[in-house]
Amino acid sequence: MMDTKTNIPNNTEMTPVISLKGVSKWYGDFQALSNIDLEIKLKEKIVICGPSGSGKSTLIRCLNRLEAHQEGTIHVSGIELHERMKDIDVVRQDIGMVFQSFNLFPHLTVLENCMAGPNWVRGVDKSKAKERAIAMLEQVKIPEQADKYPEQLSGGQQQRVAIARSLCMQPKVMLFDEPTSALDPEMVAEVLDTMIELAKSGMTMICVTHEMGFARQVADRIVFMADGEIVEQNSPEEFFNNPQHERTKVFLDQILK
């Protein structure tokens, strides 16, 4: 089920889907990101963690240019993201994003939420979009909620709809910014399960999360940030068993307590 309109060139396993070189960002005088270098390959699963305020959200939001960086370069599938680019919307259509606060459209039903993107900007006709929406809702295991409005769903259900909404765009990459931190503990698992399924299907994923069990199970690489810098990045095994930096050790001590 490929879109007729494929926006960004297809990647081989070798070329990075996303690459950042020397990226820095300031909020006024405050430097939120400093000199970030990062490459993410096709089908790779990255988990970004770090203390609050370390710049994780800022980083992930730079990847679809919800935030602007001031120095360095960011390439998504070979297209550079910059201030004067013409086709940012086209790039964004290929990058799914899931927010901490779901951000579903409250005036649309679950089904309409999922149909909106493909139908409005991908040129998919209504019946096709609906077919796809139902398939994605089945994938996140809530097809029976299709005709409800978001506020009638639990937090966990809403977040799964948000994932389905992104998947309907058939993105090349999925970004997650703390998708489970607004949820009650008993709902965290259902969202994580959905994300694990998605990982198994081969999706390229970048997740900001503090769910270390998820990271251990899914991540190819864990990126640890502090004070706007990448302090260390490693495979889960190395990261948990053999952290290199003092800050990483302190962070792991706190979070795994």
Partner 1 sequence: MFVDTVIEDKALHKPAFLIGLSLTVLAIFFALNFTNSLFGEFLRPVIGDPTESGFFGRFAVSLVLTIIFVLNLFAISFFKLKVQVAIVWLELFLLFLAFAYSFDLKMSFIQSRIPLMITRGLFTTIYISAISIVLATVIAIIGAIAKLSNNGFAYAISSFYTSLFRGLPLLLQLFLIYKGLPQLGFMVDAVPAAITALSLCYGAYMTEIFRAGIQSIPRGQWEASRALGFKFNLILRKIILPQAVPIIIPPTGNQFIAMLKDSSLASVLGVWELMYLARTLGQRDFRHMEMLLTAAMIYWALTIVLEVIQARIEEKYKQKS
Other beta carbons within 10 Å of 27: 10
Q: Considering only CA atoms, which of 189, 205, 194 is closest in space to residue 160?
A: 194
Q: Which of 8, 79, 121, 252 binds partner 1 (CB under 8 A)?
A: 121
Tokens of 9: 């060139």
Closest contact distance (angstroms) between CB of 229 and ligand ATP is 12
- How far, in whole angstroms, is CA 183 from its chain's centroid? 17
In angstroms, give the least distance from the CB of 71 to ligand ATP. Answer: 16
**Per-residue contact track with partner 1, 231 to 250, x per CB under 8 A?**
--------------------
Our CA dihedral for 161, 165, 170, 171, rounded to 10 degrees, sits at -100
Which listed residue (30, 107, 256, 257) binds ligand ATP by CB under 6 A?
A: 30
Pick the closest to residue 112 from 63, 149, 79 (CA basis).
149
Rounded distance between C-alpha atoms, residue 248 and residue 70, angstroms: 27
Backbone angles phi, psi at 25, to 5 degrees: -145, 140
Minimal distance, residue 171 CB to partner 1, in Å: 10
In the complex, which residue's CB is closest to Mg ion? Answer: 57
User: Cβ 142 to ligand ATP, closest distance in Å?
Assistant: 27
Write the DSSP string, 80-128: EP-TT-S-HHHHHHTEEEE-TT----TTS-HHHHHHHHHHHHS---HHH
Cβ closest to partner 1, residue 84 vs residue 107: 107
Q: Which is nearer to ligand ATP, 50 or 118 (CB)?
A: 50
Per CB under 6 A, which of residues 100..129 are in contact with ligand ATP?
none
Site for partner 1 in 73-112 (CB under 8 A): 89-93, 95-97, 99, 101, 103-107
**Binding to ligand ATP, residues 52-111 (CB under 6 A):** 52-58
Contact call for residue 8 and partner 1 (CB under 8 A): no
Question: Near Mg ion by CB under 5 A, which window of 16-24, 56-64, 186-194, 213-221?
Answer: 56-64
Q: How far is the C-alpha of 100 from the C-alpha of 184, rounded, in Å?
A: 13
Residue corresponding to tokens 């979009």: 129
Query: Could you give the CA distance from residue 1 to residue 150 in angstroms, rounded to a whole number?
Result: 27
Q: Which residue among 57, 145, 166, 170 contacts Mg ion (CB under 5 A)?
A: 57
Cα 168 from Cα 12, distance rounded (Å):
22
For residue 210, the tally of other CB atoms under 10 A from its CB is 17
Q: Smallest gap, in angstroms, from Cβ of residue 144 to partner 1? A: 21
Residue 209 in contact with ligand ATP, rule: CB under 6 A: no
Binders of partner 1 in range 144-203 (CB under 8 A): 149, 151, 162, 165-166, 169
Q: How far is the CB of 106 from partner 1 (least distance, A)?
A: 7
Question: Can you give the binding site for ligand ATP, defined by CB under 6 A?
Answer: 27, 30, 32, 50, 52-58
Question: Can you give the binding site for Mg ion, defined by CB under 5 A?
Answer: 57
